[in-house]
Amino acid sequence: MTLNQRLHAGFAAAFGASPLIVSRAPGRVNLIGEHTDYNDGFAMPVAIGAETRVGFTPQPGADLRVMALDLGEEDRFAPSGVGALTGGSWRNYVRGVVDELNTAGVVVPGGMLAVAGSIARGTGLSSSASLEVALTHALLLAVGLEWSALDIALLAQRAECGFPGVRCGNLDQIASAATRQGHALLIDCRSLALRQIPLPDDIAVVIVQSGVERGLVDGEYNTRRAECERAAAFLGVAALRDADEAMLMAAKGKLDDLAWLRACHVIGDNRRTLEAAEALSANDLRTTGRLMRESHRSQAQDFGITVAATDQLSALLNTAIGTEGGARQTGGGFGGAVVAVMRRDRVDAVCGAVLASYRTPTGAMPAISIEIPADGAGVIAS
Ligand code: GLA
């Protein structure tokens, strides 16, 4: 069954009807620029084929009944005056979006709503952001409002920071909302300027799952953010975006070592992201690959967010790819997926090498996907 068939079958089974509105939003894989977004820096994601779909039939005045079809779980609440749930997991993403829409003055109708997705959770490919973005699309359409991709992304980001309590940046939601098919998206996370970078046809983006699940809600993410803020305050800048490598060198031995290392990563990844955007545009995989390898090293040694499995997988991929491309852990960290960029004609050999020697912690072969950069979120039918 396709994702769309699952959504329609699940909606019909739960509510005995077809949804009036169907929206979709993709997951994303970040090529480079990690933990830079909340430092007002740069990131460069592409949208992936896996996505979340939302089906909705509004019924003004009724409760909002929500079915998470993949989990077989449900929620029900009055959309005006919605509150967070303790340990509410996916429910708080939905409730968070409704709450932010209320705050923005949108009167969210009740009704029948179902969610289905193909993004594996805990893999660093933004299943939560795609849920928030797809849901925002569906609810706005239901009340006849058209918002820009950026406004939708920023509302979805506020929703994730609110009820779920993750102090995330804006990378995931902007990637899900504003990417374009066949392109990577260079995001200036401060000015919100977006640059679509066409990906040359002979370049392949490959994702390999380490099989180590990551948890964004555990404290590490917020701790990294606090360390970056400490470094920025010491350097006397509003955000690490405003600091350069010379300022960092001058602070060595004065700023505490941990915050100094965190700043090294962020300042370095900002520079690498801008350089990688130029290199990719010029079809220069040699430079792109070197920057990705440097980014992985920096995530491992300076930012402390890789794990043995993603270190091993990145090393394996980098060896198999050679000099024309590279690989790095992608996303928030502590496991999840590794992203690789290479020439298309190398894909079979590289995947073969990974399948021959990498096993997940449970001894399974890793899941591999060869991505065709997808379009950002939108409405499918209404
Ligand atoms: C998570 C967050 C993003 C970003 C990345 C790391 O995906 O949600 O805002 O900080 O981690 O780059």
Q: Which domain holds residue 65?
A: 3-197
Task: Yes or no: say if 205 and 29 are a contact pair by the CB < 8 Å rule.
Answer: yes
Q: What is the mean pLDDT of residues 202-226?
A: 86
Q: List Cβ neighbours of 100 (8 Å cut-off, separation of 6 or more).
A: 155, 158, 159, 162
Q: How far is the CA of 169 from the centre of ligand 1 (A)?
A: 6
pLDDT digits (tens, 9 = 90+) for 279-320: 999 999 999 999 999 999 999 999 999 999 999 999 999 999
Asked if residue 216 has pLDDT above 70, the reply is: no
The pLDDT of residue 347 is 98
CA distance linking residue 328 with residue 339, whole number of Å: 6
What's the per-residue H, E or C state across 8-37?
HHHHHHHHCCCCCEEEEEEEEEEEECCCCH
Structure confidence at residue 215 as a pLDDT band (50, 70, 90): low
**Residue 168 CA, closest ligand 1 atom number:** 9
Q: How far is the CA of 154 from the centre of ligand 1 (A)?
A: 14
The pLDDT of residue 233 is 98
| Helix intervals (H) in 195-284 | 220-235, 245-251, 257-281
CA distance linking residue 60 with residue 143, whole number of Å: 10
DSSP state of 282: T
Q: How far is the CA of 168 from the centre of ligand 1 (A)?
A: 6
Q: Is residue 99 in a domain?
A: yes
Query: Is 135 in a helix, a strand, or coil?
Result: helix
Q: Is residue 190 in a domain?
A: yes
Task: Yes or no: say if 178 and 196 are a contact pair by the CB < 8 Å rule.
Answer: no
The pLDDT of residue 220 is 87
**Angle of helix 220-235 versus helix 257-281 axis, rounded to 10:** 90
CATH of the domain at 90: 3.30.230.10
What is the side-by-side order of every strand in the sheet holding 325-329? Answer: 325-329, 337-343, 203-209, 368-371
Task: Yes or no: say if 288 and 326 are a contact pair by the CB < 8 Å rule.
Answer: yes
Asked if residue 381 has pLDDT above 70, the reply is: no
Q: Is residue 302 in a domain?
A: no
Q: What is the mean pLDDT of residues 72-97?
A: 93
In 10 A of CB 351, how many CB atoms? 19
CA-closest residue to ligand 1 atom 8? 168
pLDDT digits (tens, 9 = 90+) for 298-309: 999 999 999 999
Structure confidence at residue 218 as a pLDDT band (50, 70, 90): low
DSSP state of 181: T
DSSP state of 59: -
Asked if residue 46 has pLDDT above 80, the reply is: yes
Q: What is the mean pLDDT of residues 360-372?
A: 96
Q: Is residue 289 in a domain?
A: no
Q: To 5 degrees, how large is the angle CA 23–CA 28–CA 33?
A: 145
Asked if residue 226 has pLDDT above 60, the reply is: yes
Asked if residue 106 has pLDDT above 80, the reply is: yes
Q: To 5 degrees, how large is the angle CA 153–CA 23–CA 107?
A: 65
Structure confidence at residue 217 as a pLDDT band (50, 70, 90): very low
Looking at the structure of the chain, the number of domains it has is 1
CA-closest residue to ligand 1 atom 9? 169
Task: Provide the residue type at 84 as one letter.
Answer: A
Share of the chain above pLDDT 90, in %: 92
Catalytic residues, by residue number, are: 172
CA distance linking residue 334 with residue 332, whole number of Å: 7
Task: Yes or no: say if 381 and 181 are a contact pair by the CB < 8 Å rule.
Answer: no
Ligand 1, CB within 6 Å, residue ranges: 30, 34-35, 37-38, 168-169, 171-172, 331-332
Q: Is residue 75 in a domain?
A: yes
Hey, what are 3's tokens? 């994702």
Structure confidence at residue 88 as a pLDDT band (50, 70, 90): confident
pLDDT digits (tens, 9 = 90+) for 325-348: 999 999 999 999 999 999 999 999
Q: Is residue 178 in a domain?
A: yes
Q: Is residue 315 in a domain?
A: no
DSSP bridge partners of 194: 187
Q: What is the mean pLDDT of residues 187-210?
A: 97
pLDDT digits (tens, 9 = 90+) for 159-197: 999 888 788 999 999 999 999 999 999 999 999 999 999
Q: Is residue 367 in a domain?
A: no
Q: To 5 degrees, how large is the angle CA 14–CA 20–CA 23?
A: 95
Using the structure block, give the residue that is written with the tokens 């990906």: 199
CA 144 → CA 141, 338, 344, 382, distances in Å? 5, 40, 43, 11
